[in-house]
Structure 1
Amino acid sequence: MTTSRASGSRAGDGLLRHRDFRLLLAGAAASQAGTQVALVALPLVAVVGLHASAFEVGLLTAAETAAFLLIGLPAGAWVDRVRRLPLLIRTDVVRAVAMGSVPLAAACHALTMAQLYLVAFVTGVATVFFDVAHQSYLPRVLPGPHLVAGNGALETARSAAQVAGPGLGGGIVQLLGPPVAVLANAAGYLASALFLRGIRVREPEPEVTPGVSLSAQVKEGLAFVLRHPVLRMIALTTGVANFFSAMLVAVQTVFLTRELGLPPGVLGLMLSASAVGGLTGALCAGTVARRLGQARIIWLAPLVTGPFALLWPLSGHGAAAGWFALGSGAVFFGAVVYNVAQVSFRQLLCPDALLGRMNATLRFMVWGTMPLGALAGGSIAGAAGPRAAVWVCAVGFLLVPIPLLLSPLRKLRDLPTTGEAHGEAAHGAGTGAASEAVDAPGAAG
């Protein structure tokens, strides 16, 4: 595994000289910047512009993530049947049009909560297809040794957007109003589509086996994930984390504005400050993984940083509001380091023909919990107050690393090489003995 780590380090050198990856990265940065502005703007459209209740704001978050629960599994099988780059471009355009309808309706004094729910749902459906295709397309642009560095760069772009976007969004909201800030989200999606159009890597048309139904392909993706002991635990861990993350997202705008009395501009800066931890995690993920172990860091990151979530409900008025930012920064740091490591593991493990279904199955399992978490957060906040909901979120994050501590990852230091991973995957899929493959001494290095 020493050789693998050294090659992984060399893989990061000169990554930005790779033209197609630069365009993929620029598209991700533009899209994420707009998304982070909307993270502040869209709930404020509901809270400030339409005087929505805590439960209605939770329902808005649930509408945006419901698509992962409703269509996540068939989306993966469908992605494996089409070329991924054109799909990425089309879904960006759909999201831009949906978000662009919000300021248009507001200008005509016709905006309603029903439209916000519809926009959130349509955007969520497009995001399901975009995210599954995007994770499945990266290995087409970058070879296996570059995947950890590539995922780290994408997480850096996402985390940088989390730092700048909420502050920018809060400022736009305070100066021009929430609907105008939503325009930045639409512009980000359009910019992403334009960057993606410039990518030169072209995929061959996927070969669809005659007589194999969509449902059979969905079952194949499910079997691949459920038979693998590490993927099962990654799915359970991330699903728990996303449940409580969605609960927090559903109530944080109400908590920060009504409980702590923060104006929109300060709220945006608060979320930006907390995202500094995510950016730091993205920048440090490769170094931390090399020093502590690429497999070990998957369970170590949430174990060490999860308890900082307890700072959220302890935050108060004035300077005490900073506890919220500090807690979020630490939790986001761990989440990004975890994501870089576990996504790279999944991409190394899975054959290209199954990538869409594997990613969609994982997305169904881990993002399908988000609408449930959002509804739970809105319900708790409506019944017992926003601070009570934030307490539940904080305690929930203490549970996140438990499945990983019970998995074979605890015995490994580093991730397998591409060849080892595909060999394990083939052995597990063909014989149902994935456990023995992962626990083998060779895999642990």
Structure 2
Amino acid sequence: MEPPESLNRNRAFNFLWVGETASQFGFQVAGLATSTTAIVVLHATEGQVGLLNGLQTLAFLLIGLPAGAWVDRWRKRRTMIVADLVRMVALASIPIAWAMDALTIYHMMIVVTVFGFGTVFFDVAYQSLVPSIVHNRQIGQANGRLEASFQVARVGGPGLAGWLIGVFSAPVTFGLTVGTLGFSAAAIASIPGTEPKPAAPKDTVLWHQVRDGISYVKNEPLLGPLFLCIACNALFGQGVFTLLPVLALRDMGLDAQTLGTLLSFGAVGGLIGAGINRRVVRRLGDGHTIAAFSIIASLVNFGLPFAAMAGAHGWIVLVCVGFVQSLFQTVYNIVQLSLRQRICPKPLLGRLNATFRFAVWGVMPIGSVSAGLLAGAIGVVPAMFVFLTGTLLASIAMTFTPVAKRNRIG
């Protein structure tokens, strides 16, 4: 059998890689800018911060499932370009409103909601495009590079965002995100070749197609139990993510620039994880890697609340926890995504990705809002321990799934 073309020479993948990297970089910058603008500029309460974070992923709950059926009907590249343009327009309104002294927490809630709708379609489309432009044996390698881009964005994005916020202001920092999304749209538009129009589905009723995607996940013996564990892990993990900026900026007294720098150092672990994932899988196998690395990533996060108790040394705790957790979480993410893409029929990929995105991102508004409410009632640190325990239990449950009991899959 003739070996597949090197990914380095695959122009279609390389343009997708560049576009996805630009999109992720802008997303990371906007993430810190959103929390900082709400907490520092608009003096939002814990509940409002939780609601703001929840609205960013509300679209996955509302349209996450039908988005997969729509993407299966549409050309993936065009979908990604339109999604980038919609997100550009939404974010551009924040610095404009701030300059006019008209920015409110409600304006930001509307913007992040619209941004979330665009992200739904972009993410489902790019994940569904990968198997059609790379060889099946290169899917893991391609996902490793895409995940590495995400980690590069995590390394550089928060640090740059913190510097921009310190020099200019949090609202003005959104201008960088607008530029990166524009660059992403241009890169996606430059992918060579004409993407064929997807074949018309046999059943044109939208909800019947959505049902087909859900049924496939439910009845697939490897993916069904994994789906439930991932959904629970995401719900509690989003609660932890929502409380982290509140813990750092309020309880620890850090400024946005320092927080961004610390998050950047911590995310270096993700870069290492993206580089070693194939070697880990060769040694441990798909199933064992997914289960073990999820548990370790959840355990490491228990160090986060202790950062607030460590006084002047709290920043060291944040860096160490972020580094180790990012390494294990990245390997886990790459392996379980590659597994799904390898075993799913291509005509169902959009619906499969949308179903998993619905599981992961659709439950995040619940995690964000409940974390904000619980923190307001019992305090940030106790609330964080509650959500950390939830992530650990979900990870432990993963060891009892059929995936974890099989060493080599696909």
TM-score tier, shorter chain, comes to over 0.9
Task: Look up the match of 2:399.
Answer: 405
Extract structure 1 runs of 4+ deviating beyond 6 A: none
Q: Quote the offset at 1:393 in angstroms.
A: 2.7
Q: How many angstroms apart in 2 are the aligned matches of 1:294 and 1:77?
A: 28
Match of 1:158 among 138, 150, 161: 150
Q: Does 2:305 correspond to 1:308?
A: no
What displacement does 1:320 show? 2.4
- Please show how residues 213-228 of structure 1 align to structure 2 within 5 Å: 213-228=205-220
Matches within 5 A, 1:247-286: 247-286=239-278
How far, CA to CA, are the matches of 1:252 and 1:118 in structure 2?
Answer: 23
Contact 1:295/1:414 (8 A) holds in 2: yes
Give the CA deviation at 1:360. Answer: 0.7
Q: CA deviation at 1:339?
A: 1.1
Q: What is the correspondence of 1:80-119 to structure 2 with a 5 Å cutoff?
A: 80-119=72-111
Q: Which whole-Å CA distance do the structure 2 matches of 1:143 and 1:298 have between them?
A: 23
**Counterpart pick for 1:63 among 55, 69, 78:** 55
- State the shift of 1:354 in Å: 0.7
Distance 2:348 2:305 in 1: 42
Contact 2:155-2:267 at 8 Å conserved across structures: yes
Q: Which moved more, 1:108-117 or 1:198-207?
A: 198-207
Please report how far the alpha carbon of residue 296 of structure 1 lies from its aligned counterpart in structure 2 after TM superposition.
2.1
Q: CA deviation at 1:292?
A: 1.5
SS at match of 2:304: helix
Q: What is the match of residue 343 of structure 1?
A: 337
1:37-436 map, 5 Å: 37-209=29-201, 212-316=204-308, 317-416=311-410
Which runs of 5 or more structure 2 residues have no equivalent in the other structure?
A: none
Q: Which amino acid aligns with 1:142?
A: V
Are 1:309 and 1:397, in contact at CA under 8 Å, matched by a contact in 2? no
Offset of residue 411 of structure 1: 2.6
Distance in structure 2 (CA, Å) of the matches to 1:280 and 1:377: 30
The runs of 5 or more residues in structure 1 that have no matched partner are 417-445
Q: 1:61-99 CA deviation, whole Å, 9 max, x = no partner?
A: 001101111111111111111111100111011111111
Query: What is the DSSP-based 3-state SS (H/G/I as helix, E as strand, rest coil) of the residue aligned with 1:401?
Result: helix
| Partner deviation per Cα, 1:350-407 (whole Å, 9 max, x = no partner) | 1111111111111112211100000111111111222122222322231132332111
Residues of 2 paired with 1:208 and 1:258: CA distance? 53
Q: Secondary structure at the match of 1:229?
A: coil
What is the CA deviation profile of residues 222-266 of structure 1, one whole-angstrom value per residue up to 9, with x for unaligned ones? Answer: 100011122122212221221122112222111101100101111
8 Å contact from structure 2 (residues 290, 404) kept in 1: no
Q: Say which SS state the counterpart of residue 277 (structure 1) adopts.
A: helix
Deviations for 1:99-121, whole angstroms, at most 9, x for unmatched residues? Answer: 11111111111111111000110
When structure 1 is superposed on structure 2, of 51-60 and 381-390 the one drifting more is 381-390
1:298 and 1:338 in contact (8 A); partners too: yes
Counterpart code for 1:32: Q
2:286 is paired with a residue whose SS is: coil
Deviations 1:151-189 (A, max 9, x none): 000000000110111011011111111011111111111
CA distance in 1, matches of 2:245, 2:297: 23
Q: TM-score, normalised on structure 1?
A: 0.88
CA distance in 1, matches of 2:117, 2:186: 21
Give, as a single letter, the amino acid of the residue that structure 2 aligns with 1:198.
S
- Number of aligned residues: 408
Residue 211 (structure 1) shift:
5.2
CA offset at residue 39 of structure 1?
Answer: 1.4
1:163 & 1:207 partners in 2: Cα distance?
A: 40
What is the TM-score with the length of structure 2 in the denominator? 0.96
Aligned to 1:19: 11
Aligned to 1:28: 20
Check conservation: 1:243, 1:370, Cα contact below 8 A: yes
- Aligned amino acid, residue 334 of structure 1: F
Instruction: Report Cα offsets for 1:252-301 as digits up to 9, x if no partner.
Output: 11110110010111111121122122222111111111122133211121
SS at match of 1:206: coil
Provide the rounded CA distance (Å) in 1 between the counterparts of 2:315 and 2:389: 19
Moved more, 275-284 or 161-170: 275-284
Q: Which whole-Å CA distance do the structure 2 matches of 1:209 and 1:51 have between them?
A: 50
Going from structure 1 to structure 2, the CA distance change for 1:209 and 1:171 (only over 3 Å counts) comes to closer
The Cα of 1:413 is off from its aligned counterpart by: 1.5
Cα drift, residue 210 of structure 1:
5.5
- CA distance in 2 between partners of 1:355 and 1:210 (Å): 16
2:394 and 2:272 mapped to 1: Cα distance?
21
CA distance in 1, matches of 2:112, 2:369: 14
Whole-Å separation in 1 of the counterparts to 2:203 and 2:374? 48
1 CA distance for matches of 2:199 and 2:18?
A: 30
Please report the RMSD computed on the Cα atoms of aligned residues, expressed in angstroms: 1.7
Q: Are residues 179 and 351 of structure 1, via their aligned partners in 2, closer, same or farther at CA, if it must alter by over 3 Å?
A: same
